[in-house]
Chains A and B, each alone.
Chain A
Amino acid sequence: MIMLPEIGHYFLILAMMFALGLAVLPMSGYALRNAILLASAKPLTYVMTALTCASFVILAIAFAQDDFSVLYVSQHSNSLLPVWYKISAVWGGHEGSLLLWITILTLWASWLAVKSDSLPNSTGPVVLSVLGIVATGFLAFILFTSSPFIRLLPDQPMDGVDLNPLLQDIGLIIHPPMLYMGYVGFSVAFAFAIAALITGNLNASWARWARPWTNVSWAFLTLGIALGSWWAYYELGWGGWWFWDPVENASLMPWLAGTALIHSLAVTEKRGVFKSWTVLLAIFTFSLSLLGTFLVRSGVLTSVHAFASDPTRGVFILALLVVIIGSSLFLYALRASQVKSKVSFGVTGRESWLLINNILLTILTLTVLLGTLYPLIFDAFNLGRISVGAPYFNAVFSPIALLLIVFMGIAPLSKWHNTKGALLWRMAWLPALLAIALSALVFTFHEFDAFLWLSFAIALWLVLMCVRDWLDKVITDRQSLWQRACKLPRHYYGMQLAHIGVAVSLIGVIFVSMNSTETIVRMAPGDRVTVADYDFEFLGTRHVEGPNYTADTGVINVFKDGKNIAQMLPQKRLYQARQQMMTEAALNPGFTRDLYISLGERLEDGAWGVRIYVKSFVRWIWLGGLLMMAGGLLAAWDKRYRRKTGD
């Protein structure tokens, strides 16, 4: 029993051996045209996966059993910690996050191995082999710089330091695994792209295979980002939902590039154009996932979420990045220049609309990348230490994103090759007019702001165009509406759902910024304050004991039109093991508004600094994220991906 962590470490070493085998054997099998070596890919993948999963489980057991002789456990757990947080503490720190990362990578690889029978003979093994290379690099990184199984022997502590209280939360139990599912999932599209470069089969088929995988990873990443934003909203206690922090940007960049990739893959598959661009985008997307890991873990950027940094680790990750990304881009430079796209397309064809989508999404990615890295570059040239604030991102991101959403309304109803102007006009004039009018109507009840008015009109335009397109497709003379609606393919509904999700999020963002009230007041027991249409009465605080913390709970009654509608209980917690203060906000959620209260500091005479927000439609931001995720999954579930790929 006591040996388990050593076994876990040993399994990781073995996993690296198998990953190395997976990186080398099938690849040489491809070069030597040796069927046996090629066939080794699947068993190697399965064994590697079993080993990483086993060591992950062993680490989880060490946490569950409070084995504080393991350094990592003693740093991130405590005997008083509730059991669910003990399990999620597995990925509460650097070493465990990486173990989760690699475990998810191997799981994706195994899933791919199961599905690889439908691929042509040599493609499957080469794709798995590329994943083997990535896995080898990350396993080496874990083993040489960040093993979670290091022991504190002989003098082991009696108890652990505890998990950072910020991470003791349901949102943080599920957020990192979802995010990593997304990040790591892009490795599959990456592996397909690299395999296509290696084998020289840069025709449209690789795009077809990579599409469902990319959709699924994108859906997970969307969910991961939405969860992260939701967590920041209620856990950080200042009610913001996005801070343009480097750590957040690190997850947003692969999402933007991945969104571009989904669309570009569609064009490459259907029309055989943008071939070399799509390959580059697949490399770019996965590179950004790796870069995110590097930025977060190496400490080159200072962030409010900064994690303990270690230059040795930084050098190792950088070396890993250079090897993986550098060699991919070099291979790309050598091979992709030989590809020629033969099919031409018209200026008004769907290809062009999707090209605009790709240009805008790439620009968005690059502006976020630039804003995130600018402090680094500035410092590298000794120009001083700077930070790029949220206003930069808002100023650059919003107009480009809005422009993108305008085109999102048009592209789905355009036709491949060429779209007639008359058709576009016939479809678009009514939605455009309605959007402008409805938006104007809303602003008659509200102080006019040209930018918000335009944004709202654009969100409505997107929704109306989606509906218009659907109506156009289902209304025919021959069949009933219902029959027709059922016949439309799943990938069509997936796309519609994701697009409407974007509009829903946008509406949430617009209303939050235009119709939210924020008050920070000093409240003594008995004080009343009015915020928006609500009255808040502070009754005082009471002392509460939690499993591993003590807290002051504020009791606040909320009245609307004289009626008591809720009692809200924000907390100020003191976590004992770390002596760390935490604000636990109280939420009264609603479909069209959230009431949000967090306690600030205790002032004299039992008074507290209290933050009260009334936020309109804030839930819509994450609701939109859920719709996008559902759309991505639905599209990946389309029947046509399940046919054997022969054509």
Chain B
Amino acid sequence: MHPVRKKRVITISVILVVLSAAIGLVMYALSQNINLFYSPSQIAAGEAPLNVTIRAGGMVVDGSVKRDSASLDVAFMVTDYKHSVLIEYTGILPDLFREGQGIVAQGKLDERGVLIASEVLAKHDEEYMPPEVTDALEKAKAE
């Protein structure tokens, strides 16, 4: 083969090999690691698979948060106002977690239909407005 052409063949084949290896890796990792999002209604309707990592989100139901007194186990309900799902979690909840707030939990559904969460996320919203009246805004509205 002509040396220039030979070089080009080598270059292109190296690119192709690396690229296809990378694509294979990406496909494999994607098939393993995407987490579908289900609403409480979908979970109640039995659409969500068991024992697969999924995400579920909704509003934390007022009065539903129950803590174990001896450990860091906590259970609470989230709702989309049609159905609710029970979530169990062991660990420390994020600062922004509170009743009536929107949260997203990642975890696996067990046979009881309870989501065993490995992670609970609350949003750090930049324009979050707490319903509680604050000193500052009391002054503002007095104007």
Contacts and interface: CB of A to CB of B under 8 A. Distances in A.
Contacts of A54: none
Interface stretch (A168-176, A177-185, A203-211, A597-605): A597-605
Interface string A91-125: 01110000000000000000000000000000000
Given A389-B35, A399-B25, A576 B92 contact: no
Interface stretch (A329-337, A359-367, A508-516, A553-561): A359-367
Contact of B134 (A344, A371, A576, A604): A576
A395 B123 contact: no
Interface residues of B, number: 51
Contacts of B67: 603
Contact of B93 (A75, A389, A601): A601
Contacts of B139: 157-159
Interface in A276-328: 304-308
Contacts of A359: 14-15, 18-19
A75 to B, nearest CB: 7
Contacts of A580: 95-96, 128, 130
Contact of A578 (B7, B29, B92, B134): B134
Interface stretch (A14-22, A140-148, A380-388): A380-388
Chain A interface secondary structure, helix, strand, loop or mixed?
mixed
B43 to A, nearest CB: 13
Contacts of A360: 18
A603 B69 contact: yes
B10 interface: yes
A391 to B, nearest CB: 4
Contacts of A611: 92
B37 to A, nearest CB: 4
Given A360-B18, A522-B71, A580-B96, A391 B128 contact: no
Query: In the complex, which of the residues B35, B95, B124, B142 has the most CB atoms of chain A within 10 Å of its own CB atom?
Result: B95
B70 interface: yes
Contact of A355 (B11, B32, B33, B92): B11
A162 B135 CA distance: 12
Contact of A522 (B32, B72, B93): B72
B1 interface: no
A580 B69 CA distance: 25
Nearest to B7: A347
A57 B75 CA distance: 50
B41 to A, nearest CB: 13
B136 A159 contact: yes
A198 interface: no
Contacts of B123: 304, 306
Contacts of B129: 161
A522 B90 CA distance: 11
Contacts of B111: none
Nearest to A304: B121
Given A93-B126, A304-B124, A580-B96, A386 B143 contact: no
Interface in B92-143: 92-93, 95-96, 106, 121, 123-130, 132, 134-137, 139-140, 142-143
B39 to A, nearest CB: 9
B36 interface: yes
B29 A392 contact: yes
B127 A395 contact: no
Query: In the complex, which of the residues B10, B67, B126, B134 has the most CB atoms of chain A within 10 Å of its own CB atom?
Result: B126
Contacts of A565: none
A75 B127 contact: yes
A371 B35 CA distance: 12
Nearest to B8: A344
A161 B130 CA distance: 10
B140 A363 contact: no
B34 interface: yes
Nearest to B140: A157
Contacts of A583: 95
Interface in A407-441: none
B136 A386 contact: no
Interface string B15-40: 10011001001101110111111000
Contacts of B69: 603-604
B45 interface: no
A374 B139 CA distance: 46
Nearest to B10: A347
Interchain residue pairs A-B with the least CB separation, the first 3: A600-B92, A157-B140, A385-B37
29 contacts: A75-B127, A93-B126, A94-B126, A156-B143, A157-B136, A164-B124, A304-B123, A346-B7, A347-B11, A352-B11, A355-B11, A356-B18, A359-B14, A359-B15, A359-B18, A367-B22, A378-B34, A385-B37, A386-B35, A388-B30, A389-B33, A389-B34, A391-B33, A395-B25, A578-B130, A578-B134, A580-B130, A601-B93, A611-B92
